[in-house]
Structures are given as structure tokens and as C-alpha cells.
Structure 1
Amino acid sequence: MTIFSFFSGASRALGSSSKLLVILSISSGGLVAYSESQTDAGAQSAEIKQKEPQKKRVVVLGTGWAGTSFLKDLDISSYDVKVVSPRNYFAFTPLLPSVTCGTVEARSIVEPIRNIIKKRNGEIQYWEAECVKIDAANKKIRCRSVIDNSLVGNEEFLVDYDYLVIAMGAQVNTFNTPGVNEHCHFLKEIEDAQKIRRSVIDCFERAVLPDLTDEERRRNLHFVIVGGGPTGVEFAAELHDFILEDLVKLYPMVKDLVKITVIQSGDHILNMFDERISSFAERKFGRDGIEVQTGCRVTGVSDKAMTVKVKSKGEICSVPYGMVVWSTGIVTRPVLRDFMDQIGQNKRHVLTTNEWLRVEGCDGVYALGDCAAVAQRRVMEDISTIFKTADKDNSGTLTVKEFQDVIDDILVRYPQVELYLKNKHLNDVKDLLKDPQGHERKEVDIEGFKSALRHVDSQMKSLPATAQVAAQQGAYLSSCFSRRQQCQETPEGPLRFRDSGRHHFRPFRYKHLGQFAPLGGEQAAAELPGDWVSIGHSTQWLWYSVYASKQVSWRTRFLVVSDWTRRFIFGRDSSRI
């Protein structure tokens, strides 16, 4: 056999995918052959893949405003994202009062969460389940499926995480009032709005049955809203329009027996709005025949009546009703209350985060929206370290120039300083260092510095539990996650006054874009940035345009506008579906 015939045979034996290395020793006439197959190459490739850094596991709890805003813009190239929520859709909750009366259909304001995540090329997984336990020590969550348990498969499962984003919202606060859970409607979810819609029709259908007394008909047609906030007021306005424009035409025999009552524990309805809006709403409700009872507290609810205590007189009276909608605020969910016990926040009323939305006392866990509150740090807590950082020459006094060198970081880290300057009409931060007589000082010591800033923390305010806040928090945290590596290398945040260096990110800053209060009769009130107040028919059209533009997809935008058009032309549907 020749050497060339050996090469040919060896090549055929090893196949085309192998490499053949032949070493020929002339002096000894020896021949050595070595083959490296593709199997070894595959092993090397697998080894390289194992050395690649694994994606961080991000678990998002909730598909509401905060959770959806976080998911929409997140750069998922560095993260393995899982979403857990019992609700497999996003709901545009500001339009829930419209759903209760058929002004807008329920499916018009929801977008399936899988429609949202499919735009991310399937790289985000969603599981329809509820979180029942957060194990912060082991970075796991226990989930339970909300799907019909007659189906096969495990009902509970564990999910590991590196980062946990809690955006599960809150539940209605009943203040432990007896009978509320059994006899009242809530208005937090799509299902709540659908139940209210059916209940309204039931009240009218029951009222027109034969052999009922007028007193029984009046009770069936007495609609009570407990809570004079935006949700309660908007529902009362929607219900009034539904009755006036549609139902009285269908049930003319009982049109004079209908009554709507709003019960508010405070002195005014819409007390979180400008006083002009609150006063206008009360006057308009008075003209429309909607009774507003302020300074009253519901102490109990039975199947036919509720007991109400009038604070000013101390009297307790019984109020018969046909339907009650309870809209009095929110409270922390039990699963989060258990989590708060684990991390030492058991004495707080709500889960607390720092200004970067990270849960205090728990690394890698963030909380957004209604389920959490941001604890803004006080200037006076850090006043000594701020002074020391600014006093670069360690002279024990602070010059105006030294103060100006750190003021930008102070304004970013402590937003209450900027609010204080605005409210006191101070044109320059140097004005803070003036003496009590208003004279400029070239330098101040630590006591003078404390005196200059001692009233700044009075401007601290808690963020409202609104969709606007939740959406901005979700977008902010998404941006932080997407730019994490970049900002770790080049921090963009303010100085760490209690430590060295800078914070990686700027803290969350809420930007108020205004708020609306539809008041019925094609009129609305709006509180706009810059202390502007708008009331009337033109504001209602502004409300239409803003709410249409804020829909999460063109599909829901088209459906909502179509529903509004249908209502203008044909009226609302009174079918019990």
C-alpha cells in the first residue's frame, strides 16, 4: 500500500467532517496519524457557551399600570423576564366608571398581556397565577394557579428570581366595617364594573314588578356611593347620565322614584382637587339632584339598609338602599403584609421603598404603584454630612460658592428643596443663606446652615395612588434596568452624601401632568400643571382626547372611540349581559 492510498482510505474512514493530521518521520520511516472530529469541536462550543454570563432573572408581579409600563420599554437582552399575574390583561382603569353604565364596553378597555409581550419576540414568559408567598431570604416566590383546578397539572409552583418587581396593586379598604364585603360593590376591576352594570338593571327591573309599594320601589332605586373621591364622583355622574338619558325612557313609571346619594366622611367631595373644582362639583350635583352627605361615616351595612353616623351631631341613622358602591381608598394585600413582616416593615401601613423604588431592607426587590410608598429622605437627617461634603477646605464654615457647588446634587437628591424655593418665591438658592433680616451672608457655620434649611422638609408630600404615578414609576424603573451596566460604569445620579462617589441613577421624580374629574352632562373639571383649572364642556372634550390617546394600543383606542360614538348615536345598552 502506498502512502497516498493510505491517506485516501483514512480520509474515507473518518468522513468529510473530520480533520486528519499526519506526521511522517523520514529517518525512522514511522507514520503517525491523528484525527480531530466535529464532536470535539461541539464540546468546545458548549464549553464556550457555559462561560457566557447568564441572564439575570427578573420576575414581575402584576399586569396593571406599573407592571405593564415596566414591560413595554424594558431592554430584555440582559434579562430573563417572567410575569406572574392572575389577570391576563391590562385594564385601562380610569374608564371603569364608564363600563358600569355601558358608555364603554369592558373589552374595549382591556389589552391581553400576551399581545403586549409578543411584541418582544416571545422572550417574556407569562403565567396566569397569583403570588401567595414571597421568600426574600431565598429569592423565591410561591405561586398558585387561578385557572380551574379541575384541569390536570400542579396548582402551585416556585419561581426563582434575581430581581423582583412587585406591581400587584392594592385592595379596597373596608375599614373593617361590618357587612361591606357581603353587601357592597367595589370598583377596582373589570369584573366589579360588570357586576355593577347588571345590578343597576336588576334594581330597575325589580322596581317595576307588580304588587310593590312605592316605598319598596324607592328603596330598590336608591343608589348609594360611599366615598367622594374621583372614582365615586365619576361613577355617580355616569349613573346619573345613564338614568336620565336612557333608563327613564325605558322605565317611565318609576322615573320620579330614583335617588342617588354620595356619602363622604370629609367636609367636601374631591378634596384632593383644587377647591374651585370641589365647589363646582358639589353645586352641579345639587342641580342634578344627586344628594351629597358630607361629614358622615358608614358604621355598618345590612342586606337592606346601612347605618350612618353624622359626625357633627353624633346621630346614627338608617339609610335603606337598593345598591351600594364602596369606594373609600385602598389597603395593602395580605401577601405583601406577610412580606413586610419578613423584612422588618411590619409597623408600616404600606410597603416602603427608597427614592430609587427599591424596597427598604431587601436587596433586589422593587415595588411600584399602589402597593408601595416612596419614603423621601429628609434634608435634616443628612444636614451634617451635606455640610461636611460642601465644606471642601474643612474651615468649619460654608461659603456661597461652596454651597453652589453642591446645590444641583441637593436639588436632585431632595426634591423638597426645589418645592420650598418655589413656594417661598425665592429666585436663587443663595437666598436660602440669608440671615433672618434678609441680608446676604458670605459664609455660614453648621448652625446657620441648619437654620437655613430647617423648614425645607415641610414640603414633603406622599405620592397619590393614581394610574399616572404607577405608569411613570414603571417607565422609570424600566429605564434603570435597561441602562444598568452603562450607569454602573458612568454614574448619573447625585452625590452620595453619606458615602463616597455618586448614585448610579437619578432618583424617581414624579411629574404631575394633571387630573380629570368627569361630572356628567358632558361637563368635566381638570386640574392642569401650573395651577391651571379648567371646568365645563370644553374640558369634557379634552378628557375624551386625552383618554383616547392614552390607550395602550390602536385596537383599544379604536374600540373606545367607537363606543363613545355609538353612545352618542344609539344611547347605552340596558341589556343584562
Structure 2
Amino acid sequence: MACVQRFQRLPSPLLETVVRTSYSAGPLVHLAVQRTRSFATADLSALDASKGNRERIIILGSGWAGYILSRKLSAKKFQTLVISPRSHFVFTPLLNSTAVGTLEFRTATEPVRSRHKPNVEFMEGRADDVDLSRKMVTVKESVVDSAQGLAVVEAPYDYESAGEARPERRLKKREGKRWEVAYDKLIVSVGSCSQTFGTKGIKEHAFFMKNISDAKKVRKRVLECFEIAALPTTSDQFRRQLLNFAVVGGGPTGMEFAAELSDLVSEDMTRLYPTLAPKVRITVYDVAPRILSMFDQKLREYAMQTFKRKGVDVRTSQDIQQLRSGLPRIGAGENADEVADSQGCCILTTKEDGDVGIGMCVWSTGNMMNTFVQGLLKKSHGFPSASAEVIDNTGQIAENVEWMIEKNKKTGAIVVDDHLRVQLQAGGQQAEGDKDSSEPSFRALMTDVFALGDNASIRDYPLPATAQTASQQALWLGKHLNNDSTALEAFRFKNLGIMAYVGGSKGLLQTGNGKGVQGYLAWLIWRGAYLTKSVSWRNKMLIPTYWWVALMQRASSADDEKQVSELGLWERYHKILNGQCLPITFLPLDSTTHRPYR
């Protein structure tokens, strides 16, 4: 059955503990091995001994820029060390597909450690500080918590066990041990975090789309909403609120998730839950007056028409004020206790509509700068004379003043030159874009510290904060570091276009020269491009295989429908546990052999 197989790793809450117990050994063993290997390079003496005459390049982050650069650097010239709280690279364009079960989670990840790249060392931790004069990075141990995502978490967090609604979403800081690692060259590519604009309740109750753990939570919550709604004890008003899904953000990530969720409902849930599917409501909220603003008007209009046909309600110019746990009162017949038992539902408050009861809120409103970069930009340094060159026009060297990494006032990113080298400013100058600064214009250029991706802002050359930008910068820097030519040829971005999926095997494509493609052809190009960009041959084989399986499942869904109870999966699980479908017999054990008597 289509949906059963798509959600095969996520049973209903009733069977969850049974299934996890049966299959817990494999993941636990894998996790133990992974943790052992992750800190294999923590023996710094062994790390130094293996360095030899090579330069050590420390890459902070395992995202698009950091991961691609680590694969590009020469093993003969450099000892590459990746420091990241995440031991894998996430292929973010496929996260939405994994969240709804079209693809499995492993198809969107690539391990940092690989037998094909044994020269790449890895430390599982978070960069806590950088000393530019001593050329040392302070690393803080990453606290492993399988229940947490990295969407808005810039420091290790754990969840409190307070008896409140959705306690698993409450955050509490935890501290890890620290150590220092020396570098010859440093790459800052720690990425960004989800922007919440300080909206109350978002970090505690919203779902995000930045990591595999986030996609797992979304998949689990979608099935939970349908299972609870299928219960005979669920009132009709409560059922409608459970099946009301909100997506905040009208960019490509938010709109693609709404499209994938709509496909799931129309192609799978309508057959598995025929009485519930008509009650499903998907609403997209965006503060901007239009969605997908990076596309031209014709493509935006096509997207709006497609979403309207699929029943997705797109609301623009919306002011989101709050997200809190619970449900609004749903009628005079409901008492306070029933309303308080929200089963994970939330109240989304907007200025235009007031309180709206929803089963899940996916938040995708852009990015904010990582807290490591924010802290780095606030710190003052002594002039790193061994690795910095003064580039001001005064001819003076201001070594007796404090130096700070220059910041782009608008984006909060690190200012770099067109060779991606980090720039310094002297005397506590204001950020780039500030006016009427009373300080002298002393500036210096770091020759051994680079910034990439979301963390970099090239002076007078603004670029979009996208995976395309980060990957191009990583490839350029890797090439020129290998050839010792970073000071010769300036980086230039090549716009390869932008794409988005809008549901129903339809897509949008806007090429670098502004030409637009829409519909089925754009969807084929969208899939082909991301398949080509997949890193390993394993995923290049797995991704089309899962796409083909999903297509065949949908083609045979009419036959599957006959085998699925109209009551939904919850009742089928009840029957299984009651022994109506699968009798379970407990046999006494022989005290000698510890095997069941026959």
C-alpha cells in the first residue's frame, strides 16, 4: 500500500514502542560506532603526527560550502579537518520529499567520513571561538540528542520533562567540554539558522526544514494527526483542527513543502483515509504581498493557479503574531478539559484572522546568521601581523588599536574581498553601510582566513544566500588553494537559474538569463538537476529507484484501496494487537537452553 510503505519507518503511536524495541539494536550499534569514530581525531597528538609537512585547513561546518570544499582539497598539500556538530551533509532540496515519504531519509544525506576520502579528518563539535593571532580554534563538544533538530538550535539543547503541553519542544542549554586546535588556514562556513523574527512560541512549537531530524519530526507529526483524527472518540470540530496544516513562508522551501504535502493528501491519504481527506486544509501564510518573489510574474501566477486547483490556500500580507500550544474553544458543547487536551495541536494567531487551531505549523521564513558568526563579529582582536595585510590608503599600520572582523550591516555576514578572504576593521569602526563614522578607515585583509556561503558577503558584489552560491564558492576556493592562486583570479558567480516544485508533477524553472519554463517539463528538469547534483553513486541510484517505486505505487493504488480498511490504519493496528489479524503467542522458555518449549 502506497502510504503504508511511504511511512514504513513511522508506525502509529500505539505500535511505536513495539517496533522500536524490535529494531533498536542496529541503530544503537551504528550510533555507538559513529560516536567512536567521530572523536577518533580528538587525540590531537596523533592528528599532529599525521600532518607531516602539509598545511592544516580547518573547515567549520559540513553544509554545502564546507562539505564540497573538503572533497575538493588536495590530500598531498593539505590536512583537511572538518569541525561540525553534524557528521553528515544534508542535501536540502530533497528534505521536503523525505518529510512526506516520497524518498527515504538516507537519500538526502552524505557522511563526512568516507572510505573514499580517508584524508578528510572530522571532529564532532561546535566552533566556540577563534584566536586570529595564535591561529587557534576553540571547539566545544557537541551534545548528542537524537530528539533535537538543528533548525534553530545554535547551541546544544536538551528538553525539559515538565508536565506541560508538548514538553519535548522546550529547550534547555547544555554545555560540552572544550579543546583547542591549531590551523594554517581557516574556512568559516557554519551556515545559517531559521529566522523567527522573535515571534513568540515559534522555537517551542513550530517545525522547521533545515535538517534530517526536522524532516523526521514532520513525517511523524503528519501521521499522528491523521491517526488521532481517525479515532471514533475524536469530535468533528477537533478533527478539522487536527487536519489543518499551516506553512509560514512563501519562499521555495515553504511552497515546495506545501506542494509535497498536498500530493501526499491527494494521492495517498484519500485512499487510506477516505472520510478524512476532504477535511484536510493546507494554508500558506506569508508576510510579503506575493509568494516566490524571486520568480517573474508569469511563473508566480502559474504557481498561484496550481495551488488553487490543488486546494492549497495561499494568504499573503499576513502578520503572524504568536504560536502557542492548545486549541481555541470549538463550541459550546466542549468543556475546558477537552479543549485543553490538544494532542500536540497549536493556536496560530494572526492579525488578520485571530486565533486559528492547527495540527502542525511548518516555519520557513528565511535565514538568520549563525550565533558563532555573531559572536565572532563582536570580538576584538590584536593585529595578526603574521597573517594580515593592511589595505587602507593612509600608509599607516594601526597595530596599537583593536581590530574586529568587518560585518555587513544588512545581512550580518562577514565582509570578504572578491577572493573570499576575511576583512578586518580597526578602532571599533561601524559595519559596512554605516555612515558618519568618526574612526579612521583602517582595514586589513586576512590571508589565511576565508568565509563562504551564508557567512560571506563580498564587498560591492551582493549574492543570493543559496546552496548554488555556496557550492560555487567552495569549488572556486578549492581549485585555487590547490594551485596556490587565490590572489590571482577573482571569484565570479554564475547564475544557473532557480527552480521550485509546485505539486501535481508541475514545476517552475527560471534560467540565469531570465527565461521561464513551467509545468511538467520544468518538473522533469527539477528532478534531473537534483539527481545530477547528488554526491555519491549510492544516492544517484537510490533516488530514482524511490521515485520509480512511488510512481508504481500510485499507479496501482486502486488495487491497494481494496486491501485497506476505510476506518484507517489506527483500527487495523488495534485489530493486530487484539490478535484478530496476527495472533501473538507467548511460549514458556526452557530454563537450560533459554529457548521456547515446542
- Asked if TM exceeds 0.5, the reply is yes
- Structure-1 separation of matches of 2:293 and 2:542: 33
Deviations 1:213-232 (A, max 9, x none): 22111110010000000000
Deviations 1:395-419 (A, max 9, x none): xxxxxxxxxxxxxxxxxxxxxxxxx
Superposed, 1:65-76 pairs within 5 Å as 65-76=64-75
- Structure-2 separation of matches of 1:240 and 1:129: 38
The 1:538–1:256 alpha-carbon spacing in structure 2 relative to 1, beyond 3 Å, is: same
Q: Which residue of 1 aligns with 2:416?
A: 353
- Structure-1 separation of matches of 2:130 and 2:318: 39
SS in 2 for 1:69: helix
Q: Which has the larger radius of gyration?
A: 1
SS in 2 for 1:479: helix
The count of residues paired between Structure 1 and Structure 2 equals 413
Superposed, 1:106-505 pairs within 5 Å as 106-115=105-114, 118-120=115-117, 122-146=118-142, 155-303=177-325, 304-310=346-352, 317-342=354-379, 343-345=404-406, 348=409, 349-361=412-424, 363=446, 364-376=448-460, 462-484=462-484, 487=485, 504-505=487-488
SS in 2 for 1:158: strand
- Structure-2 separation of matches of 1:289 and 1:318: 22
Q: Percent identity?
A: 34
- Structure-2 separation of matches of 1:345 and 1:148: 33
- Structure-1 separation of matches of 2:123 and 2:256: 34
- Structure-1 separation of matches of 2:508 and 2:569: 31
Contact persistence 1:331–1:350 (CA under 8 A)? no
Deviations 1:88-116 (A, max 9, x none): 1122111111111001111012111112x
2:545 is aligned with 1:548: no
The 1:575–1:191 alpha-carbon spacing in structure 2 relative to 1, beyond 3 Å, is: farther
Contact persistence 2:263–2:504 (CA under 8 A)? yes
Of 473-482 and 132-141, more deviation after overlay is shown by 132-141
- Structure-1 separation of matches of 2:247 and 2:133: 43
- Structure-1 separation of matches of 2:206 and 2:194: 11
SS in 2 for 1:268: coil
Q: Which residue of 2 aligns with 1:452?
A: none
Partner amino acid for 1:300? Q
- Structure-2 separation of matches of 1:370 and 1:346: 13
SS in 2 for 1:557: helix
Contact persistence 2:192–2:370 (CA under 8 A)? yes
SS in 2 for 1:114: coil
- Structure-1 separation of matches of 2:127 and 2:569: 36
- Structure-2 separation of matches of 1:137 and 1:217: 61
1:136: how far off?
2.5
- Structure-2 separation of matches of 1:236 and 1:375: 36
SS in 2 for 1:555: helix
Q: Which residue of 1 aligns with 2:86?
A: 87
1:56: how far off?
2.1
Q: Which residue of 2 aligns with 1:567?
A: 550
Contact persistence 2:413–2:454 (CA under 8 A)? no
Partner amino acid for 2:273? Y
- Structure-2 separation of matches of 1:374 and 1:215: 53
1:249: how far off?
1.1
Superposed, 1:503-514 pairs within 5 Å as 504-514=487-497
Unaligned runs of at least 5 residues, structure 1: 1-49, 311-315, 377-459, 489-503
SS in 1 for 2:213: helix
Q: Which residue of 2 aligns with 1:381?
A: none
- Structure-1 separation of matches of 2:217 and 2:416: 35
- Structure-1 separation of matches of 2:52 and 2:216: 48
Deviations 1:155-205 (A, max 9, x none): 422111121101111000100110000110010111111110111101111
Query: What do you get for the CA RMSD once the two structures are aligned?
Result: 2.3
- Structure-2 separation of matches of 1:307 and 1:559: 41
Contact persistence 1:165–1:367 (CA under 8 A)? yes
- Structure-2 separation of matches of 1:206 and 1:340: 48
1:552: how far off?
0.3
The TM-score normalised by the length of structure 2 is 0.66
1:148: how far off?
5.0
The TM-score normalised by the length of structure 1 is 0.68
